[in-house]
Amino acid sequence: MIKNREGLELIKKKFQEQEKDRIQIKVAMSVCAKSSGSEKIFDYLLEEIKNRGLNIDLIPTGCMGFCYCEPTLKIVNPKFEKVEIIGDITLEKAKLILDRIVEKKDIGDGERPRVKEKRVSLLNCGDINPENLESAIARGAYFSLERVVHEFSREKVIEDIEKSGLRGRGGAGYPTGKKWRALYGEDGEEKYIVCNADEGDPGAFMDRSILAGDPHLVLEGMIIGGYAVGAKKGIIYIRAEYPQAIEILLKAIEDLKKNGMLGDKIFETNFSFNIELKYGAGAFVCGEETALIQSMEGKRGEPKAKPPYPVKVGYREKPTVVNNVETFANVTRIFQNGVSWYRGIGTEKSPGTKVFALVGKVKKVGLVEVPLGTKLKDIIYEIGGGIKGDKKFKAVQTGGPSGGCLNDDDLEISVEYDELIKRGAMMGSGGLIVLDENDCMVEIAKFYMGFSVGESCGKCTPCRIGTKRLYEILEKILKGQGEVKDLELLEELSITVRRAALCGLGKSAPNPVLSTLKKFRSEYLDKVGEAVVFNNN
């Protein structure tokens, strides 16, 4: 049982003493790592270390971010200043690494920390054992919570979040402090704070990687949030198809309960708070907060008209606030390092960092975290290594199905909320899908529209029928049967759907069509032009 700061300090000191002067081999055991064979590497190293009697700690970790060269491992050797991250590990390579450690030689030939990257939410991912509470405490977990519940008023916590400028990391970037302030002002004993872990964008794996790599970062942020808004219960709504993240979260929650940091009288104060998981079936629409709440209640996942907003009528008709996984991760970091520190990262209107899943036709696919305001070009070329096969860059899809496509004219822009919206795209949850010269932008628009058609809940006519008609027009054009007037119809119908749809999914569904029509209109005209020539014959 951990009763106070002294208890945390004892655990931190003991764990750090155990780590001191010891060689560590950290093996990524994330989903992508395991699919590449990391379990075999881990088992081999475990057996070899035991058989050789080596004084080496073998640590399973979450995603290190270098997904393009899995399996990866990290070597921390007190005898050498640098930390070595080595990818494309095979059994032969693992044996060579052990041999060189025994010979007290530098390993060499490793990946290096990415210059443009700044890890805040991902700081511990790939560095700690996510199933070890002591490891998290040794790196500062729950010290902020202990200070907050003993020294901060609820008003003070909300003020700090407002001053930090933290914007929600799940979509449109709504100010977190405004949401918390609204729930704080609601009367009643029964309030809820919800973590939206229903990550459903194609190519996105940011939230599940944070949860599976550093669950206590998110849990601490949720508990602080619960204290601030006056909630006694938190709920993590997570996709059932994320078994690794679920298993790690359940263990983390159980460890907190055993140690008195979750449940009744946290850190021997009058503040009581519990967290439970509720599972989603993988419906994209349930990323929208009112549909998510409906699903949590066991109902069909359909959005509700707003107002009333969830902060007034939410889960079980009680005041509820919904925040994204990465948002809660940022909350913890703000109270660990201070508001001024946080505001010193990013831009004035978009402070902090953002985690991106950088995927597609890029050489170094992976999980990256950069200060908001970083140039799009730097993310793709300096961190991502440029385009596969040294082909020409054509576009990047940001924000998933709800986002838009940017072209080479946009490479110099700074990646921040308002700038992306100006360009016809959006931040979304953080997917960046890079496309090359061989990709057809009309096909891309059709793909995303097909996704939206399949994921529409069907409740409102503009989304149910409008997205289907948009898909059919795109299909017609790609079959060589389109006409120039179809482009006008695409634009007119897209604007109608955007204006008339009930929820965020429907309102943003036409974005891929509108952005590609604007930035790649020549491709649409080429498709229509080919159809005209064909029909004249």
Count Cα neighbours of 393 within 13 Å in the Cβ-side half-sphere.
22
Q: Is the domain of 181 the same as that of 316?
A: yes
Which of 402, 436, 470 is the endpoint of a domain?
436
Dist. CA 329–CA 124, nearest whole Å: 11
Tell me, yes or no, whether 432 and 445 share the same domain: no
- The verdict on 423 and 474 lying in the same domain is no
Interval 56-98: pLDDT, tens? 999 999 999 999 999 999 999 887 767 788 999 999 999 999 9
Q: What digits encode the pLDDT tens for the residues 412-459?
A: 999 999 999 888 888 877 889 999 999 999 999 999 999 999 988 889
Same domain, 194 and 284: yes
d(CA 322, CA 293): 9
Q: Of 218, 199, 210, 200, nearest to 62 (Cα)?
A: 210
Q: Do 391 and 452 lie in a common domain?
A: no
Say if residues 126 and 62 touch (Cβ distance below 8 Å). yes
The answer to whether 441 and 395 are in contact (CB under 8 A) is: yes
The bridge status of strand 23-28 relative to strand 73-76 is antiparallel
> For the whole prediction, is pTM greater than 0.85?
yes
CATH number at residue 466: 1.20.1440.230
Alpha-carbon torsion, ordered 363, 364, 368, 371, to 10 deg: -50
> Domain limits at 456?
441-536
- Residue 34 included in any domain: yes
Q: Same structural domain for residues 98 and 143?
A: no
Mean predicted confidence (pLDDT) in 114-135: 92
pLDDT digits (tens, 9 = 90+) for 4-39: 899 999 999 999 998 888 999 999 999 999 999 999
Q: Which of 56-60, 397-401, 443-447, 495-499 has the lowest mean pLDDT?
A: 397-401
CB-count exposure of residue 413 (10 Å: 0-12, 13-18, 19+): middle
User: Residues 140, 203: one domain?
Assistant: yes
Which CATH number does the domain housing residue 416 bear? Answer: 3.10.20.600
Mark whether 295 and 381 lie in a shared domain: no
Q: Is residue 118 part of a domain?
A: no
Q: Are residues 313 and 182 in the same domain?
A: yes
What the block records as the tokens of 368 is 């990256």
Residue 518 in domain: yes
Question: CATH code at 31?
Answer: 3.40.30
Are 477 and 529 found together in one domain? yes
Q: Is residue 157 part of a domain?
A: no
Angle at 132 between CA 243 and CA 278, to 5 degrees: 35
- Are residue 465 and residue 516 in the same domain, yes or no? yes
Mean pLDDT, residues 221-227 taken together: 98
Dist CA 267 CA 232 (whole Å): 15
Residue ending a domain, choose from 409, 436, 463: 436
Question: Is 216 part of a structural domain of the chain?
Answer: yes
CB 387 within 8 A of CB 365: no
Average pLDDT over residues 149-177: 94
User: DSSP alpha helices (H): ranges in 30-153?
Assistant: 31-35, 38-52, 91-102, 133-138, 143-151
- Whether residues 432 and 446 share a domain: the answer is no
- Measured distance CA(51)–CA(340) in Å, rounded: 50
